[in-house]
A and B are shown apart, each in its own frame.
Chain A
Amino acid sequence: MLVELIDLTKRRSPFLLLAAGAVLFVLWLPEFWTFVFIGGLATAMVALSVGVVYGRTGMVSLCQFSFAAVGVWVMAWLNVNTGLPFVVMLVLGGFAAVPFGLVIGLLSLRLRGVNLAVATLGFAAASLVVLRRNPFPGSFSNQAIKRPTGFVTENGYFLFSCIVLATVVAALAMISRTRAGQGWLAVRQSERATASLGLSVARVKLTAFSVGAFIAGIGGGLLGGQNGVVSQRSFEPFDSLLIFAVSVLVGARFVDGALGAGLLGAVLPELFRKWGIPLDVAPMLFGIGVISVLSKGADGAHGHMRHAWSEWRAARQGGPQGSTPSEDLEDPAAATPDVANPEALILTPSGPRGSLELEGLSVSYGAVVALDQVSLDVRRGEVHGLIGPNGAGKSTLIDAVAGFVSPNSGVVRLAGVDLAPYSVHRRARMGVRRTFQQGRAIEEMTVGDYVQFAAGRALDTGTLARILRFFDCPEARKRISSIDVATRRLVEVAGCVAAGASIVMLDEPGAGLAETESAALAARISEVPDRFGCGVLLVEHDMEIVRTACDRLTVLDFGSVVASGTPESVLSDQVVIAAYLGKPTVEAGGVTTSGAGAKR
Chain B
Amino acid sequence: MLDSALSGLPSGGAYALVGVAVVLLYRLAGVMSIAVSVFGAFGAFVMVASFDRGLSLGLAVPLGIVAGAVLSAAMGLVMAWLFPDSDAITRSVVTIGMAITLLAVSSRLFGDTPRSFPPLFPGSSFTVSGVVVTATNVLAVVLAIVLAGALWLLLHSTRIGVRMMAMSSRPVSAELLGVPLGLYTVAVWATGGAVATIAPILAAPTRQADFTSLSLLVVPGLAAALLGAFRSFTLTVLAGLGIGVLEALAVRWEAISTYRNALPFLVILVVLMWAQRAEVWDDAR
Contacts and interface: CB of A to CB of B under 8 A. Distances in A.
Bound pair (A, B):
yes
B262 interface: yes
A122 B265 contact: yes
B120 interface: no
B100 A238 contact: yes
Contact of A133 (B88, B103, B226, B259): B259
A133 B99 CA distance: 26
A192 B284 contact: yes
B97 interface: yes
A283 B284 contact: no
A190 B282 contact: yes
A121 B88 contact: no
B104 A287 contact: yes
B266 interface: yes
A401 to B, nearest CB: 16
B53 interface: no
B279 interface: yes
A567 to B, nearest CB: 28
Contacts of B12: none
Given A107-B269, A189-B284, A237-B216, A287 B97 contact: yes
Given A238-B103, A238-B212, A241-B100, A436 B90 contact: no
A199 interface: no
A102 to B, nearest CB: 14
A62 B219 CA distance: 12
Contacts of A294: 83, 86, 90, 93-94, 97
A520 interface: no
A291 B104 contact: no
Nearest to B272: A111
Interface in A375-432: 404
Contacts of A244: 93, 96
Given A130-B262, A287-B98, A291-B94, A115 B104 contact: no
A191 B284 contact: yes
A113 interface: yes
B266 A245 contact: no
Contact of A291 (B26, B32, B98, B273): B98
Interface in B95-125: 96-105, 107-108
Contact of B99 (A112, A241, A289, A295): A241
Contact of B100 (A122, A242, A278): A242
B155 interface: no
Given A114-B92, A294-B93, A241 B34 contact: yes
Interface residues of A, number: 56
Contacts of A192: 281-282, 284-285
A288 interface: yes
Contacts of B90: 294, 298
B256 to A, nearest CB: 11
A113 B89 contact: yes
A174 interface: no
A91 interface: no
Nearest to B223: A122
B101 A288 contact: yes
A125 B282 contact: no
A353 to B, nearest CB: 29
Contacts of A291: 78, 82, 94, 97-98, 101
A112 B93 contact: no
B148 to A, nearest CB: 19
Contact of A126 (B26, B101, B103, B265): B265
A294 B88 CA distance: 13
A278 B112 CA distance: 14
B118 to A, nearest CB: 27
B281 A404 contact: yes
Contacts of B264: 122, 125-126
B259 A129 contact: yes
Contacts of A549: none
A438 B100 contact: no
Contacts of A248: 93
Contact of A295 (B83, B105, B262): B83
Contacts of A127: 262
Interface string B195-228: 0000000000000000010011011001101100
Interface of A: 60, 62, 107, 109-115, 117-119, 121-123, 125-127, 129-130, 133, 189-193, 195, 236-238, 241-242, 244-245, 248, 278, 280-284, 286-291, 294-295, 298, 404, 436-438, 440
Given A121-B222, A122-B222, 14 more contacts: A107-B269, A109-B280, A110-B279, A111-B276, A114-B92, A118-B223, A118-B268, A122-B265, A237-B219, A284-B105, A286-B100, A287-B99, A290-B97, A291-B94
Sorted nearest first, the 4 A-B pairs with minimum C-beta distance are A287-B101, A126-B262, A287-B100, A126-B265
20 contacts: A62-B96, A107-B269, A110-B273, A112-B282, A114-B89, A115-B226, A119-B272, A121-B218, A125-B262, A126-B264, A133-B259, A190-B285, A238-B103, A245-B96, A281-B104, A287-B98, A289-B97, A290-B94, A290-B96, A291-B82
